[in-house]
Amino acid sequence: MNVSLPDRKIDGISILDLWENVPDANPRETFSYYYQQNALEAIRKGHWKLVFPHSHRTYGLSTPGREGVNGETRQVETDLALYDLRRDPGERYDVKKENPHIVAELSLLAEEVRADMGDDLMNIAGENRREPGRIETIKQ
């Protein structure tokens, strides 16, 4: 069965090259953002990642799970932090004080994203927020 899908796009960016396995395909050269439901938790550009204050669950500093039983998680609060993922992929060292210009640049990008898609953490509705898309029909 040959299934034909509509143009494959996520947030207005074509991902067709990824679907067709084009070498070095990268639909998002400039930045990406990290949402949990409709809460903007972080934004990334290149090797820089700016994390915004939010609450989340973590396994960090907890006893690992055993014999198929999950380890304990705990709720933690995250402050504003900037990470250089090229040097610190584990996001352990906050470098926002040494790089205020990067914090400012990524903060401006975040404002644009919030205005477009919204952000529940900041109580911003977003001009283009919509219900998730659905494929109505599949051509065979």
* Between 131 and 107, residue with greater pLDDT: 107
Q: DSSP letters along 3-58, please?
A: -B----EETTEE-HHHHTT-TT--S-SS-EEEEETTEEEEEEETTEEEEPSEEEEE
pTM of structure? 0.67
Which pLDDT band holds residue 35 (cuts at 50, 70, 90)? confident
Which tens digit of pLDDT belongs to each residue from 50-88? 999 988 777 777 777 788 888 888 888 889 999 999 999
Mean pLDDT of the chain: 81
Share of the chain above pLDDT 70, in %: 81
Rounded Cα distance between 82 and 98, Å, is: 10
Local confidence band at 27 (pLDDT 50, 70, 90 cut-offs): low
Q: Which fold has domain 29-62+71-122?
A: Arylsulfatase, C-terminal domain (3.30.1120)
For the chain, the farthest-separated pair of C-alpha atoms sits apart, in whole angstroms, at 56
